Amino acid sequence: MNLVGKVSIVAVFLALWACGKDAESQSTPTPAPAYTSWLVGDAKDVEVSNLQGGFVLAGGGTDIDEAMRWLLRRANGGDVLVLRASGSNGYNDYLMKELGVTINSCETILLNSKQIAAMPEVVNKIRNAEALFIAGGDQSNYVNFWKDTPTEEAINYLINTKKAVVGGTSAGCAILGEYVFSALNETIVSEEALANPLDKRITLTNNFLQATPLNNLLTDTHYDNRNRKGRHLVFLARLQKDFSVVEPKGIGVDEETAVVVSTDGTATVFGNGKAHFIKIVVSPTVLQGNQAVEWAFSPKNTLHELGNQQTFQLNQWQPISGGILRGFEVKNGVLRMQ
């Protein structure tokens, strides 16, 4: 090969190499995941002291104004954040303008993927909030998208370090206890759970949110409206069986009803329905797959039903004012209240 040929080959090689480098330098980086949010009020974060903490457990349906005012007052004029995995900004004007409690802002974030749950901007907004409210929807989305992510860590920071108030309605309430019916295999009704208490649709989890007054506790919502007492009892029995919880507790909340819980464990009921406070000590006699539940009456298993303005102490697990104490039994998968 003569010198001209060698030079031509080198020139072609250098040209191809240069084109490759140029193409590489012009490639578009993978964009960070976008997220949707809606804001009313001041976009600038405000720092607030003397937060009181607490929890709002709402049963779904129409929101209870007095319970939501309780949440807003505990924000002490700060920023309120609403998280949801579906839906829109319906809470913004309600919380910012309609309840007569002054806050700095209300923002709703549509947090519907693990990628968004890991975004530093989203995590910082959670950590900067003085009140957090989790909207309804499907709790399996909250477990799938938020559990074991920086969002989970940020919510637990609000609860345990910053002492901000946290609430939720329907699915948002369902994830606030130490134990959660995660609904990862769809939902289940009471008759089905009582007929087969090991049904694969009964998916329970823990190690998600960490709220001391709600330890050893599993919540349920839309309670009497959807006849969920039977399945709730099965969930609690499964906590004994699967998680070795000695005395599992439950709070079931009717629609148009909310329970507000102070950090000292004092719970107050607001609304048109009832809240149901359950403690299980004695296990079912039959809790096996494809067999109907058998559960003898025991006075050690208690269910307190409380209505509007009545109060309950979670730490001692006993009523402070009002309420009705009831017992129960299950025969051949049929729940009978006493």
Co-location of 92 and 158 in the same domain: yes
Where among 117, 146, 175 does a domain terminate? 175
Query: At residue 23, does pLDDT exceed 90?
Result: no
Query: For position 176, what pLDDT does the model report?
Result: 98
- Whether 25 is covered by a domain: the verdict is no
Mean pLDDT, to the nearest integer, of 226-235?
97
191 touches 221 (CB < 8 A): no
Co-location of 40 and 182 in the same domain: no
Mean pLDDT, to the nearest integer, of 33-42?
94
Count the neighbouring beta carbons within 10 Å of the beta carbon of residue 319.
Answer: 18
Distance CA 250, CA 256 (A): 19
The total number of structural domains in the chain stands at: 2
Alpha helices in 39-119 (DSSP H): 65-74, 90-97, 114-117
- Whether 1 is covered by a domain: the verdict is no
- Whether 55 is covered by a domain: the verdict is yes
52 touches 263 (CB < 8 A): yes
pLDDT in tens, 99-155: 999 999 999 999 999 999 999 999 999 999 999 999 999 999 999 999 999 999 999
Query: For position 12, what pLDDT does the model report?
Result: 36
Q: How many CA atoms lie within 13 A of 108 on its CB side?
A: 19
Mean pLDDT, to the nearest integer, of 198-210?
98
Q: Is 287 helix (H, G, I), strand (E, B) or coil?
A: coil
Co-location of 171 and 181 in the same domain: no
pLDDT in tens, 322-337: 999 999 999 999 999 9
Query: At residue 173, does pLDDT exceed 80?
Result: yes
Beta strands in 207-297 (DSSP E): 217-220, 249-253, 257-261, 266-271, 275-279
Distance CA 278, CA 301 (A): 8
Co-location of 168 and 218 in the same domain: no
Where among 175, 193, 225 does a domain terminate? 175
Co-location of 190 and 170 in the same domain: no
Structure tokens at 270: 């607001």
Co-location of 193 and 317 in the same domain: yes
Query: For position 32, what pLDDT does the model report?
Result: 58
Co-location of 162 and 257 in the same domain: no
Q: pLDDT class for 28, splitting at 50, 70, 90?
A: low
Query: At residue 162, does pLDDT exceed 90?
Result: yes
Co-location of 219 and 148 in the same domain: no
Query: At residue 4, does pLDDT exceed 50?
Result: no
Q: pLDDT class for 31, splitting at 50, 70, 90?
A: low
The answer to which of 32-36, 58-62, 135-139 has the lowest mean pLDDT is 32-36
- Whether 42 is covered by a domain: the verdict is yes
Co-location of 263 and 302 in the same domain: yes
Query: In this prediction, what percent of the chain has a pLDDT beyond 70?
Result: 90
- Whether 139 is covered by a domain: the verdict is yes
pLDDT in tens, 280-324: 999 999 999 999 999 999 999 999 999 999 999 999 999 999 999
Using a CB cutoff of 8 Å and minimum separation of 24, what contacts does 312-320 make? 312/266, 312/267, 312/269, 312/275, 312/277, 313/265, 313/266, 313/267, 314/213, 314/214, 314/217, 314/261, 314/265, 314/266, 314/267, 315/213, 315/264, 315/265, 316/265, 317/249, 317/277, 317/279, 319/277, 320/266
Query: For position 25, what pLDDT does the model report?
Result: 37
- Whether 26 is covered by a domain: the verdict is no
Co-location of 90 and 209 in the same domain: no
Mean pLDDT, to the nearest integer, of 254-261?
98
For residue 83, the domain's CATH number is 3.40.50.880
Q: pLDDT class for 175, splitting at 50, 70, 90?
A: very high
Quick one: which of 113, 53, 104 has its CA closest to 83? 113
Where among 111, 141, 175 does a domain terminate? 175
- Whether 11 is covered by a domain: the verdict is no
Contacts of 214 (CB under 8 A, 6+ apart): 55, 176, 177, 178, 261, 314
- What domain range is 131 assigned to? 31-175
Co-location of 49 and 101 in the same domain: yes
Query: In this prediction, what percent of the chain has a pLDDT beyond 90?
Result: 89
The pTM of the full predicted model, rounded to 2 decimals, is 0.90
Co-location of 168 and 181 in the same domain: no
Rounded (5°) CA angle 168-172-175: 110
Q: pLDDT class for 19, splitting at 50, 70, 90?
A: very low
- Whether 24 is covered by a domain: the verdict is no
Mean pLDDT, to the nearest integer, of 13-33?
45
Mean pLDDT, to the nearest integer, of 161-174?
98
